[in-house]
Chains A and B, each alone.
Chain A
Amino acid sequence: MYWIALKMLTGDPSKYLAIIFGISFSCVLITEQSAMFCGLMMRTTSQIRDVHDAEIWVMNPNVRYMDDLKAIADTSDIRVRGVPGVAWAVPFYKGAAQIQLPTGRYQGAIMFGIDDATLVGGPQAKQMLLGKIGELQLPDAVIIDEAGFHQLWPNEPLKLGKTFEMNDCRATVVGIFRASLTFTTQPIIFTRFSKARLFAPQYRRSLTFVLAKCVAGESPEVVADRIQTQTRMKALTQDQFSWLTIFYYLEHTGIPMSFGTTVLLGFVVGCAIAGQTFYLFTIENLRQLGTLKAMGMRDSVLIRMVFIQALNVGIIGYCLGIGFATVVGVTMQTLRPILPFFLPWQVLAVTAVAVVLMVMLASLICIRRVVILEPAIVFQS
């Protein structure tokens, strides 16, 4: 009997495809926008996630997100080292720097100062496009990100040995790396901690973060709590710090609102197209359904038939939609890396829920018509 339902559905390919297109379109909109939203949010934490060798971040208790820089006492790293469960702790500077190019042009940048002896928190070897991380030990050495290099020297091929000035100190590019894109898109500069203090304008305190790793067998969350208790500084794992930053942006910017509106719009459009087409399809098939009812088929079977039809278009539309969204997203990002696109499974789940709601709504209207249908209608006209 359900085979007839599917036959009815695919019997008219143009209508069938129209319904599926409606649902797919809505899925693409919802998935695409949600993934872009997630991508944008991930960008706010890219500098946290780019640190691959430490798991705990220690900072001023008043820090609200990654770019909210409040310095801590210069002895903080040795205090963190004294906390049980901490394998090591090193200073990590983050601050704003003002680059002055030989042409006289100025450009703001994000500067990181990594521990002189160990280079903890620096770019990974696989991120390096030119040069080596170890060359930071050279005098005046800095490593700059690829996008930043193009911002500073547009239309020039990547090249080492370029120099510029920061705070009247000479800096030489000894390496170029590919950084995860940031929210503010400023050039990212890595240098040694001691050099960073010279490159940055003078402040009384200059230590912004302490990076720590816990000993094997200890959970980072527990050790972070212990650091917080013993030193009264804020200590967060990489994930906790990322979420803190994301929640700050969610709360303090209009980004979730604008993306949410588009997602809602996608949902409404999807509902409208899918619902309307599906409804029209049901109306057109009322004669067949009436015939079946006249043949003595019970309402429950008819309702199930409608559901089967809805489920069929829902699943196929959903699969096509998310697939197409992925293809579009990946293509866009490959062509223009500046576009954010991050697709976690949660987005797929949210889209699935939306599709289920959509087809439920559409089928419910149709079911009402089927239930109140008089079998006699078949013999009218």
Chain B
Amino acid sequence: MKISGTIGKYLLPALAGVMLLLAVGYAIRSQQRIPLKSPPVVPSTNPFGDIVAGIGFVEPSTDASTQAMISVGSQLPGIAVKVAVHVGQEVNEGDLLFELDKRNTTAELVVRQAALAASEAQLSKLEKQPRPEEVPALEAQLLAATATLETATDVRDRDVKLLLTKSITLQEAFASEEAVKNGTALFEVSKANLNLLKAGAWEPDKVIARAAVDQAKASLEQTRTTLALLEIRAPVTGTILQVNLRPGEFVSTSPTQSLITMGNLKPFHVRVSIDEEDISRLKLNAPAVAMLRGDLKRREVPMTYVRIEPAVITKTSLTGANSDRVDTRVMQVIYSIDSETPLIVEKKILVGQLLDVFIDVK
């Protein structure tokens, strides 16, 4: 009775108190709010306040829509024998990039040169006529014909007088008359031959020969052009971004083959895609900064407005490859980053990279 009284008076209330504390304590503990943690890497944060955000695609500053990297191709197929540039090299417009095998064309050039020489010789021969050595011979012939004619004329004159005195027969008189005619004809022949020789080559022949020379020259020039086309040169001043060619590889003329990609990286351009629904809030020429993704220091890269793309397109560059599952349309604004910016000097910003972009619209 005594013990049960103690239970009722003290033990039970004490146990009840402990249990109450336990339950309430547990309830409070389980309901405690877990404080917000910061993520492993803090994402790029808005530096301006009122902004339009976009995703920027770093590209060379070559003026182009959608893709400003130049994929240098070859006009002629062939085997590459020399790659004159290395990745990252800065080249000037017209510098040699790579060279295809020239042996065939060089041989053809020699043939063409010979053909030109032949046709030029032909023309020169025609132009130098008459050959000086041939003239005296014909002149001598003319002199001989003249002498013969004179002789025949003398004989005939004498025969005319002799015929009056009947010293010769009529037959003989006719014969001397014929001799004069013959001599005259021979004289004319010799004179004509001399004149023909002195006149030189016939003009149409020379025209044909000149045309042949021109043709040979043109075909030589054609071969020289082919030879030049086998040396692929930089279309613009810029930096070599990729070299997908090694000596010995076959170069085809396929438009999809990008043998060497290059572009002008002074300055860099950033193609910023902005959701079409944000266009109304966008201000052109406003301050804009880009931030590297995953940059722990969260450095801001200032950018200068260059232009907009007049055509709004379906989003492609935001995620790289998965361009086939997209229904969003984006406006593209081009900004430039000065090539002396520290992050560019440190090679932290590279062509093809995606940047988080914030444009002030206050």
A contact set with B: CB distance below 8 Å: 9-10, 13, 16, 20, 31, 49, 52-55, 73-75, 78-79, 81-82, 84, 86-90, 115-122, 124, 133-134, 194, 197, 202-206, 213, 215, 231, 315-316, 318-327, 330, 342-345, 347-348
Of residues 40 through 95 on chain B, the ones whose CB sits less than 8 Å from some CB of chain A are 40-46, 49-55
Decide if A78 touches B23 in the complex (CB within 8 Å).
no
Cβ-defined contact, B26 with A343, below 8 A: yes
Given the interface contacts A52-B34, A323-B20, A345-B31, does A197 sit within 8 Å of B330 by beta carbon? no
**Per a CB cutoff under 8 Å, which of B7, B8, B45, B325 touches A88?**
B45
Q: How far is the CB of B193 from chain A (nearest CB, A)?
A: 95
> B16 contacts A73, CB within 8 Å?
no
Assuming the contacts A75-B275, A319-B16, asked whether A53 and B53 have C-beta atoms less than 8 A apart, the reply is no
Contacts of B26 in A (CB 8 A): 326, 330, 343
Q: Which residue of A lies closest to B326 (CB)?
A: A74
| A324 proximity list for chain B (CB < 8 A) | 19
Q: Is the CB of A205 within 8 A of B325?
A: yes
Q: Is B247 an interface residue (CB 8 A)?
A: no
Distance to closest chain B CB from A340 (angstroms): 12
| Max chain A C-beta neighbours (<10 A), residue from B4, B13, B34, B327 | B4
The chain A residue with its CB closest to the CB of B17 is: A319
Q: In whole angstroms, how far apart are the Cα atoms of A118 and B12 in the complex? A: 56
B327 touches A194 (CB 8 A): no
Complex Cα–Cα for A122 and B40 (A): 9
| Contact between chains at A84 and B53 (CB < 8 Å) | no
Assess A120 versus B315: contact at CB under 8 Å? Given A81-B53, A322-B23.
no
How far apart sit A16 and B320, CA to CA, in the bound complex (Å)? Answer: 76
Indicate if the CB atoms of B39 and A10 lie closer than 8 Å. no
For A120, what are the chain B residues with a Cβ–Cβ distance below 8 Å?
39-40, 43
Number of A-B residue pairs with CB-CB distance less than 8 Å in the complex they form = 162
Q: List 21 A-B contacts (CB under 8 A).
A: A13-B5, A55-B36, A75-B330, A78-B53, A78-B55, A89-B43, A118-B41, A118-B42, A118-B43, A121-B39, A122-B40, A197-B319, A202-B325, A204-B325, A319-B16, A319-B19, A319-B20, A320-B16, A321-B19, A323-B18, A330-B26
Query: Is the beta-carbon distance between A323 and B22 smaller than 8 angstroms?
Result: yes
A13-B7, A75-B275 known, 14 other contacts, Cβ within 8 Å: A10-B9, A13-B8, A20-B12, A73-B275, A81-B356, A84-B49, A204-B326, A206-B325, A213-B36, A215-B45, A316-B16, A322-B19, A324-B19, A348-B24
- How many angstroms from the CA of A121 to the CA of B7 in the assembled complex? 54
0/1 string, B21-36, CB within 8 A of A gives 1: 0111011101100101
Contact A118 B39, beta carbon cutoff 8 Å = yes
- CB-CB under 8 A from B328, the residues of chain A are 73-75
List residues of chain B with CB within 8 A of the CB of A326.
Answer: 19, 22-23, 26-27
Give the CA-CA distance A118 to B44 in the complex, in Å. Answer: 9
Query: Are A53 and B31 within 8 A (Cβ)?
Result: no
Complex Cα distance, B146 from A17, in Å, reads 174
Most A CB within 10 A of own CB, among B30, B38, B275, B325: B30
Of A78, A231, A322, which is within 8 A of B20 by CB? A322
Contacts A10-B8, A202-B325, A316-B16 known; A75 to B318 CB distance under 8 Å?
Answer: yes
For A344, give its contact among B27, B40, B43, B281 (CB under 8 Å). Answer: B27
Binding site for A on B (CB under 8 A): 4-5, 7-9, 12-13, 15-20, 22-24, 26-28, 30-31, 34, 36-46, 49-55, 273-275, 277-278, 281, 293-294, 315, 318-320, 322, 325-328, 330, 356, 358
How far, in whole Å, are A116 and B325 apart by their CA atoms in the complex? 19
Q: Is the CB of B294 within 8 A of A52?
A: no
Smallest CB separation, B295 vs chain A (Å): 8
The complex places the Cα of A367 from the Cα of B8 at a distance, in Å, of 23
* A74 and B53 alpha carbons, distance in the complex (Å): 13
B325–A203 contact, CB under 8 A?
yes
Contact of B30 among A116, A321, A342 (CB under 8 A): A342
Q: Are A74 and B318 in contact (CB under 8 A)?
A: yes
In the complex, what residues of B have CB within 8 A of residue A124's CB?
37
A-chain residues with CB within 8 Å of residue B52 when the two chains form the complex: 82
Neighbouring B residues of A31 by C-beta, 8 Å: 23
Chain B residues whose CB sits within 8 angstroms of the CB of A119 once the complex forms: 39-41
Rounded to whole angstroms, the CA-CA distance of A326 and B28 in the bound complex is 12
**How far in angstroms is the closest Cβ of chain B from A91?**
9
Taking a contact as CB atoms under 8 Å apart, the answer to whether B5 and A10 are in contact is yes
Contact among A16, A79, A134 with B40 in the assembled complex (CB-CB below 8 Å): A134
